[in-house]
Structure formats: C-alpha cells, structure tokens
Amino acid sequence: GEDVEQSLFLSVREGDSSVINCTYTDSSSTYLYWYKQEPGAGLQLLTYIFSNMDMKQDQRLTVLLNKKDKHLSLRIADTQTGDSAIYFCAETPLYNFNKFYFGSGTKLNVKP
C-alpha cells in the first residue's frame, strides 16, 4: 500500500533555509502536496506538484521532486519564526484523487 515517510524534527535559525524531506512508495502517485499545521488549526495547503514536474517555486517555497527515487523536498527560504509548525507531505494515487495519504509530519522549530 501507499507509505509516506518524513523525518520527525527539524530545527533551524531564523533567516536560514529549511529543507524538509519526504519519501513515498506509490509509483502511481499523481499529485504530491505539502501541508502546514499550526497548533489548534487544521491543515493548510502550502503547495503541490504534479508528478511529471521536477520543481515548483512559489515565493519562499521551492518543491523538488525526484520521481526515480520517490523523494520530495520542501525548501523554505529565509525561514521565519512564524514558519514554526508541523509540515505534512501527502500524495494522491493515479487511480483515486479522493484519498490523501499523509506522512507523520515534520515538526519545524525556528529559533530566533
């Protein structure tokens, strides 16, 4: 079945770049997503990438996809304290956009 894995924690200093990594197993994945969850809040979609793309940039966010290695990363440039949150990687398979498969989340701590 689908399996999405992420490292649990990342700590960076304010102003540095953060890179959050994710691996997935489903080769039929179509869309891959990054969501942000702040305490007491639901999930906020940050960005997504279609599986035939290698890279997508959106302001401070850069998503890199290595489809051969099934590796997805999210780079946050000039990380701010407001970026402290849990970041989830997710994918939807080709046969079913209904179902999101989420990783366990990476907790990003930004130190001032």
Partner 1 sequence: DAGVTQSPTHLIKTRGQQVTLRCSPKSGHDTVSWYQQALGQGPQFIFQYYEEEERQRGNFPDRFSGHQFPNYSSELNVNALLLGDSALYLCASSKGDTRRTYNEQFFGPGTRLTVL
51 interacts with partner 1 by CB under 8 A: no
Dihedral angle, C-alpha 33, 8, 37, 16, nearest 10 °: -90
Q: Does 42 bind partner 1 (CB under 8 A)?
A: yes
Cα angle: 42, vertex 86, 30; to 5 degrees: 80
Amino acid at 8: L
**Binding residues for partner 1 restricted to 54-93, rule: CB under 8 A:** 88, 90, 92
| Residue 24 binds partner 1, judged by CB under 8 A | no
Which residues of the chain form contacts with partner 1 (CB under 8 A)? 4, 30-31, 35, 40-45, 88, 90, 92, 96-105
